[in-house]
Amino acid sequence: MNSFLRPGVPGTTSTAVATATLGRIPTQYRPISSHLAITPPVSVVIPAMNEAENLPYVFKTLPEWIHEVVLVDGNSTDDTVNVARELWPDVKVVKQAGKGKGDALISGFAACTGDIIVMVDADGSADGQEIVSYVSALVGGADFAKGSRFANGGGTDDMTPIRKLGNRMLCAVVNAKFGARYTDLCYGYNAFWRHCLDRITLDCTGFEIETLMNIRVVKAGLRVQEVPSHEYLRIHGVSNLSAVRDGLRVLRVILQEKGVRRRTASRRTPPLTLKAPRGEVS
């Protein structure tokens, strides 16, 4: 796969740089800074329901060089869709037919056209400027870039002591059962190469989808790299997350998954099962 980071060449067009460097078919470069450019298109998936007040903060931090923004609207009753279109005129809006964050993400993944997919929450807790760190991890060799609030350089303003304890305990269970080395488990800021969807099955509808993905990428033998990330407080509104209810759902997912030795997991894991999104893309 022709996907890598390369220093930008001042005064040279992206096509000219690609032609001179590769000596073959010109490749579209996307400048990140004066010294950095990438070739793979990046899609950002944002599941949102009644987040009109938060979207200006979310979109403000998104880098201009990303390929597309896919907003999955969970039947919002406010002005979420119109605000998104005003902020990002080319936004791709997917009308969610089902319910739950997992269902929304699966619908969003199916609508993406980029080689890299980034998951970003719509409540303003994630800093879009961190996307470059995720992309760097992927083009540097990782298949799945997993955000961590507890890796060196990460942090959180939003977790209560009970949620931190629950996350730590669930993370320890996953590490012991599946041979992972995660420092964080229940966090929704992640990125991955689209080809990863051919190696894992996504078949849950709630917040537990983040844990399911973390487990199944390990079982599939994919290369995972944690990326330090800072989680900020939700700006407006109230979260639908329930520490007890969703914690139990996460635990159920962990217990239902069978531990598989990583050296054989890639041959045993079935391909992605995307439950056909019933929504419409506009």
Per-residue pLDDT tens digits for 18-70:
333 334 444 678 888 777 787 899 999 999 999 999 999 999 999 999 999 99
How many C-beta atoms lie closer than 10 Å to residue 278's C-beta? 11
Query: What gap in Å lies between CA 104 and CA 243, rounded to an integer?
Result: 20
131 within 8 A of 66, measured Cβ to Cβ: yes
Q: Hey, what are 144's tokens?
A: 């799945």
Instruction: Kindly tell me if the per-residue pLDDT of 267 is higher than 50.
Output: no
99-142 pLDDT tens trace: 999 999 999 999 999 999 999 999 999 999 999 999 999 999 99
User: What Å distances lie between residue 36 and 8, 86, 196, 281, CA to CA?
Assistant: 5, 29, 25, 33
Query: What gap in Å lies between CA 62 and CA 82, rounded to an integer?
Result: 18
216-225 pLDDT tens trace: 999 999 999 9
